[in-house]
Amino acid sequence: MNTRRNKKGFLDISFSWIFAFLVGAMILVGAIYVVNKFTSVKDSQNSAELGVALKNLLTPLETGVEGTKSIEITLPVDSKITHFCDSTDRFGKETFSVKEKRNNKWTNSGVPISFNNKYVFLPSTTEGKTFSVFSKTFDFPFNVANLIYFTNSKEKYCFVGFPLEVKSELKNLNQNNLEFNTCSNFSKKICFDTPSNTNCEIKIDSSQKSVEKDGEKVYYEGNALMYAAIFSDKNIYECETKRLMKRADELAKIYQEKTISLVSKGCTSTLDLSSFKSEVSNFQDSANLSLIEWEGQSLDELNRYSDCKLW
């Protein structure tokens, strides 16, 4: 009998302990779930705040009429910026998603922030904490937009053989990650009209007005687009260029309406933008830029000597 009671007591204690363990485990799992859920929400909030802050920091570079402006952006922690570009719809849009590095791991809740009035050139994905950013106006032939170029401050870019005009403009930015002719170790070498066998990561051919990078080639017109091709990848560059041509098309419509208004006020020297509009509205990729540039230069020259200037 005593033995039997001992066994029963043993079983009673075991079941009580198991029950307590299960209840405790359920509470622990629930607590972990709540903590993880809170952490996930907090990460999303932080990511969204970083994305909005990034958007606001870029705004001064997007506005204004100055030729070239430069700033440095420092984020609170190491961040991964993912850049998407969409050229559909009226002006297209670009979307940024920012993830933070916490405990040597990337948060998995990058919240997308979109806008359709900026034109930012950087790779599809870039990582870092401090970024060097500058902008340059893009005239084609009238002012279309300010283009924004985004680089990790720790990544060095070495410009070799570039014309004095380009070197002076870039030197005046005072960005520590830009080098000229004498390249440091691990810098990305960008060569202007150098022999094909030269060891360069990026090659510019001024006769073709092309930029070759990662085995792919795109085309540019003017320094603003040349910088764009240097600091972004092909997909981003082609998409953003399409967006710029959509904007140029809309601006051409406005100037066309202004032409009608000037005629009604007695101006006899006016411009016909129909051919230019046709070219930009049918834009496919950067290989089409040269023909549009030719049309634009003709318009700009006529506008310069016109009694009633459009721009």
Q: What is the full per-residue pLDDT of the chain (311 aa) written as tens digits? A: 444 444 444 444 444 444 444 444 434 334 333 333 333 444 444 544 555 555 565 665 655 545 678 888 888 889 899 999 999 988 999 998 888 888 888 886 567 888 888 999 999 999 999 999 999 999 999 999 999 999 999 999 999 999 999 999 999 999 999 999 999 999 999 999 988 767 899 999 999 999 999 999 999 999 999 999 999 999 999 999 999 999 999 999 999 888 888 887 778 767 889 999 999 999 999 999 999 999 999 999 999 988 888 99
pLDDT for 209 equals 97
Domain assignment present for 68: no
Domain assignment present for 102: no
Q: Which domain holds residue 264?
A: 241-304
Q: How many domains, the chain? A: 1
pLDDT for 109 equals 58
Domain assignment present for 212: no
Any idea what the Cα angle at residue 289 is, between residues 157 and 225, rounded to 5°? Answer: 25
Domain assignment present for 160: no
User: Any residues with CB less than 8 A from the CB of 148 and at least 6 apart, and which?
Assistant: 58, 61, 62, 118, 119, 120, 121, 133, 134, 135
Domain assignment present for 22: no
Residue in this structure with the two tokens 């430069």, named with its chain if needed: 70
pLDDT for 3 equals 46
pLDDT for 63 equals 52
